[in-house]
A = this chain, B = another copy of it.
């Protein structure tokens, strides 16, 4: 999957900024890929980018109209369909990470086919994969792993990419979920791959590279989340990670969506990840811990990071509050 850059970001009639969080993610992490925003009447989100007509966006170089807003209730509103169809007719491809596929909307499918445009529904893999071979490959790889789902694995990997590139290090974020794919324009939604090919898909999307190059692979799920641990296991094996960063949200009282499952303690979680990772890379090690302290006061956040740092002997950061520089120090 490779989406043509740059993007015009479609915000539709987003009822609030949260509904457009995918668009905000793209703007925050890849501003150079965004020529402007396209908003419909009533839109309550604003990326601070130039509002553009389709014609103006095309003149500014836009190649793909990206749905950066989540739809409510699963249905794609008719008003969006008209706007997206106009995008196809004007000369743009479409990309989205919605549960419902744009390509399943007849008007869009027919228009795209007739005009030779691409529709990228990034939740669905666009290609097939080989099973993993586990052969050692060159280049370095870091994988973010978590005590749970949705605790900062994508954000941490993107923050590491930004900080490493700022130091002149050769580093690429490797997306494994739909938001990450829309941010970078490529990747694989790893939880939508057929089970036999989880680790093979990771091998394909974080391939051999220069010896000093770092792939920063976005983790998914958790070895301790009973719904998704198979995906997390395949990611660990496929990534052949040299370095692992543990991501954690300290106020969570149970595994996401599973009130009957407590979170693992950090040490248990790290030991389990190392055991799995070392099957394909015996040198795998943890280089840091990334804590999402958004729900804590400044003092509580500082105490939390300090306590985890002394417990684990690893740099403990919050990718937003403190930045990830101390983890980059450990890698450099």
Contacts and interface: CB of A to CB of B under 8 A. Distances in A.
Given A272-B275, A275-B272, A227 B195 contact: no
Interface string A124-157: 0000000111110000000000000000000000
A229 B224 contact: no
Residue from A135, A226, A231 whose CB has the most chain B CB atoms within 10 Å:
A226
A183 interface: no
A280 interface: yes
A206 to B, nearest CB: 14
A194 interface: yes
B134 A261 contact: yes
A237 B231 contact: no
Interface in A181-224: 190-196, 198-200, 223-224
Which size class do A's interface residues fall under? 35 or more
A196 B200 contact: no
A260 interface: yes
A230 interface: yes
A258 B135 CA distance: 9
A279 interface: yes
A237 B195 CA distance: 15
A226 B237 contact: yes
A233 interface: yes
A132 B198 contact: no
Nearest to A190: B195
Contacts of A276: 229
A273 to B, nearest CB: 12
B134 A234 contact: no
Interface of A: 131-135, 190-196, 198-200, 223-224, 226-231, 233-234, 237-238, 257-258, 260-261, 272, 275-276, 279-280
10 closest cross-chain pairs (CB), A and B? A230-B234, A134-B226, A131-B227, A230-B230, A191-B196, A233-B233, A198-B230, A226-B237, A132-B227, A230-B233
